[in-house]
Amino acid sequence: MASLLLLLASSAAAAAEPPSPSPSPSPSPSPSPPHDYADALRKSLLYFEAQRSGRLPHGQRVAWRDHSGLTDGLEQGVDLVGGYYDAGDHVKFGLPMAFTVTMLCWSLLEYGADVAGAGELGHALQAVKWGTDYFIKAHTKPHELWAEVGDGDTDHYCWQRPEDMTTSRQAYKVDRDRPGSDVAGETAAAMAAASMVFREHNPHYASLLLTHALQLFEFADQYRGKYDSSIAEVKSYYASVSGYHDELLWAALWLHRATGRARFLDYAVDNAHGFGGTGWAITEFSWDVKYAGVQILAARLLLRGEHAPRHRATLERYRAKAEHYVCACLGKNAGGAADANVERSPGGMLYVRQWNNMQYVTSAAFLLSAYSGYLSDSGAGVAASCAAGAGEVFALARSQVDYVLGSNPRGMSYLVGYGGRFPARVHHRAASIVPYKRSKEFIGCAQGFDDWFVRRGANPNVVVGAIVGGPDRRDRFRDHRENYMQTEACTYNTAPMVGMFAMLNRMARDEAAAPPANAEQQSVDR
């Protein structure tokens, strides 16, 4: 099949970029000092505390935030207090929130020992649990899941602190009559992945999460439909452009990993063709489009030999598509249409589209790193589709992380609060207004625009650990609050980086002690 990007091109997110005036040349960076990955890790986990909704705990480290959304779900007679705001606004969108938690968990499953070694495992587990506690509340019946709190349209008319919210807190659900296989499937994946994360630390909680995951998957599969057909309010913000088949495959593979039950792998194999898992040749991985992640999870099973003989042929096809993604990022796919490879900026950044491009950079870095590790561990060592060694794959992953941290033509860190130069005017309501704890004077809907949004100065609060949308295809970046395509941050931008920062921190220490001979050895030593 042709790349799914042809389908995505019809969405607003994939609209062609308008011509822009010729910029002044980007400044050339001075040689980058070694990155402090331990500092980046600590700061990335702080970001999730800044995004918390609900009653904040005593251990809250982001002091400029306070309690918010304390009546969420009240009108519907359900407790929906908690969870995360996805970005710079105050709607709780279930699909990207669940993907954020899944990626936090995958980070811990791949690199949890490195997170623990850096002394950050407790904070990482708290970040996951803040999300999964909310999902437990939102999954009120086996076939009922509350998928959104708040309305994007009314929310975006206002510029307020979450502590002052006057916008709608209407809650929306999917159920048997109004299905949402994509959001239910992604939430099942998050719960299954989290059950593995907590298995050692909190076995009872892990068992509870797995029970919810199993019920949610059964609901998603039995009552099929796109959630944006059931919840019209989400279409302008998190429409499920790729449909729900990728989430069903994704959830099945996470449940197979969590339970070891053959029926979930059978599901992913039996539906591989019909659901597009072995058909779509993908060049992106995101909260909406999970196919590349599905394909890499399936390739992992093949490379590790964790399958029955009857699964092998289909898993080989999954691996071929996984390597299409890997080779696309490397720019090494020789055949196919013009979009067979991922574009690169002059500074080396992977570029997919203009709106929040960093989400594709960070997710690609994680997938490339994970896959290089699977290649090395299996002894295969090479992505056969384009003859790329595991070390080459990993080197690209690391280069993307370093670009985020400041190894780029502007010498700017796109991880807020890290390094000497980072975005100061992040498109983020809470960060851009005086903290509630300092001034409890109510700030109205329009007043926030008049008094705070239009200010030219830096935000009064630094939303540490946020990864903003980032530069355009030519490495250009405008640090303006109204430039939401580039200066708004999202939870799913940062989530894949938690494990990457931890792993690179450990590698940096190892390299300082005994530098490896080459990049191939770096990948093997991981």
Which residues, at least 6 apart from 21, have a Cβ–Cβ distance to it below 8 Å? Answer: none
Determine the Cα–Cα distance for residues 55 and 49; give it in Å rounded to an integer: 12
Beta-ladder partners of 148: 93, 172
Q: What are phi and psi of 13, to 5 degrees?
A: -65, -25
- Which residues are designated catalytic? 427
From CA 406, how far away is CA 395, in angstroms rounded?
Answer: 16
At a CB cut-off of 8 Å and minimum separation 6, what does 24 contact? Answer: none
Q: Could you tell me the CA-to-CA distances from 319 to 103, 257, 282, 322 in Å, in that order?
A: 20, 17, 12, 5
Checking phi first, is residue 331 left (phi over 0); if not, alpha (psi -120 to 50) or beta?
left
End-to-end CA distance of the chain: 35
With beta carbons less than 8 A apart as the criterion, state whether 453 and 427 touch.
no
Is the Cβ–Cβ distance between 311 and 298 less than 8 Å?
Answer: no
If DSSP states are collapsed to H, E and C, what string results for 272-318?
A: CCCCCCCCCCCCCCCCCCCHHHHHHHHHHHHHHCCCCHHHHHHHHHH
